[in-house]
Amino acid sequence: MRSRKFGERKSGGKTLTKSLPKGEWSRVGNGSIADGWSAGTTDVSGPQTEDKFDLMSTPMFEIENLHVNIEDKEILKGVNLTINKGEVHALMGPNGSGKSTLAYVIAGHPSYEVTEGSIRYNGLDILELEADERARKGIFLAFQYPTVIPGVSMANFLRMAVTNTRNARAAEIEAAGGSATKMTPREFRRLMKEKMALLKMDDSFATRYLNEGFSGGEKKRAEILQMALLEPTMAVLDETDSGLDIDALRVVSEGVNALAGPEMGVLLITHYQRLLNYIKPHFVHIMMDGRIVQEGGPELAHELEAKGYELLRAEVTAGAI
Ligand code: ADP
Ligand code: MG
């Protein structure tokens, strides 16, 4: 993602560490290592001003005029989307409209070329960062589900994935003079137990071998558990059209409902309205042909279901929307 051709911008300016007096950290997060803005992190740049009110009005996650190419074909054609802490946003749209492309670009997949626009996370331009750096800052995209890894249990896989990210985060904080403890295997086991209880998952799930005969619902369970363990502040869940049986729907919705909270923003990508029967988003955005063509509250998803994408497409084409 370092191949930006247009709109290249260094995220300069003062760091938050310098611009905020001690005690102000509560404004920007809970101070846990899961927080993308943990105290002492110096490689992130805060707002360009010392005015604390400005900080409060900085959106947590802001996509502006995003244009993205895949193999020289423009897929995203100027996407604008703002997500604040505590908000659940649903992104809907017909197949091929660019929803998954947006998810991958947020996560930092290298195949996608951003030609114009920006994505800012707490004021920091994340297009400058590699995928793993984004994850350490608290951005979550469900892992690309690995194919069967013989002999690797769910617990071991998650321990590697989660301790890598969390320990790298802790190391960044320490390098910047802050204090953060690394996660030991024992601590990981305790955390996993706690999160599995929260998500009402059976203990035996952790000892299952990765992906061996997993149902759609079990794959989703693994994804949601990984999210719970990473404690992201910005979670992107791309519910692809396949594998969304009722069991999977239930797992995703119960997981999101259990994990979403005042510190977390969620972007829930779904083709179908039915997922939104279980998760009530605060905002709904509809994407068509690489643009967001309509936005509203939860009622918009129901309108869309009644109307269908084709009627909406006709209205968009006719310039009525
Ligand atoms: P959605 O998730 O809304 O179904 P996608 O983001 O997957 O849409 O796809 C958007 C468009 O980008 C489609 O026209 C698709 O064919 C194209 N596309 C997606 N991935 C690739 C790729 N790796 N190479 C070429 N074209 C792609
Ligand atoms: Mg998709």
What pLDDT does 43 receive? Answer: 35
Instruction: Tell how far the Cα of 111 is from the centroid of ligand 2, in angstroms.
Output: 15
Smallest CA-to-CA distance from 18 within 161, 244, 176, 174 is with 176
- Does residue 130 lie within any of the structural domains? yes
pTM: 0.79
Return d(Cα 97, Cα 287) in angstroms, integer. 6
Tally of structural domains, the chain: 1
- Does residue 120 lie within any of the structural domains? yes
- Long-range contact set of residues 258-262: C-beta below 8 Å, sequence gap at least 24: 258/198, 258/199, 258/228, 259/198, 259/224, 259/227, 259/228, 259/235, 260/86, 260/88, 261/86, 262/85, 262/86
What pLDDT does 170 receive? Answer: 87
Residue 196 lies in domain: 16-317
Task: For 167, list phi and psi in degrees, rounded to 5.
Answer: -70, -35
Helix 216-230 and helix 185-198, axial crossing angle in degrees, nearest 10 = 120
- Beta strand ranges found along 221-264 (DSSP E): 234-239
Measured from the CB, is residue 258 less than 6 Å from ligand 1?
A: no
What pLDDT does 104 receive? Answer: 93
SS3 75: strand
- Does residue 6 lie within any of the structural domains? no
- Encoding tokens for residue 106? 């947020």
CATH for 274: 3.40.50.300
Residue 67 · residue 289 · CB < 8 Å: no
Q: Which of 75, 268, 287 to probe ligand 1 with, by most ligand atoms within 8 A of CB?
A: 75
- Does residue 241 lie within any of the structural domains? yes
- Does residue 10 lie within any of the structural domains? no
- Does residue 96 lie within any of the structural domains? yes
What pLDDT does 192 receive? Answer: 93
The amino acid that residue 49 corresponds to is T
Q: Which of 68, 100, 241 to probe ligand 1 with, by most ligand atoms within 8 A of CB?
A: 100
- Does residue 95 lie within any of the structural domains? yes
Measured from the CB, is residue 290 less than 6 Å from ligand 1?
A: no
Q: Tens of pLDDT along the chain (321 residues)?
A: 444 433 333 333 322 322 333 333 222 333 332 333 323 333 333 344 444 445 567 899 999 999 999 999 999 999 999 999 999 999 999 999 999 999 999 999 888 999 999 999 999 999 999 988 898 899 998 755 555 567 788 888 889 888 888 888 888 888 889 888 888 889 999 999 999 998 888 888 888 887 677 777 788 888 899 899 999 999 999 876 555 678 778 888 889 999 999 999 999 998 878 888 889 999 999 999 999 999 999 999 988 888 888 888 898 888 877
What pLDDT does 19 receive? Answer: 31
Q: Residue 89: is it exposed, middle or buried by C-beta count within 10 angstroms (0-12/13-18/19+)?
A: buried
Return d(Cα 69, Cα 7) in angstroms, integer. 14
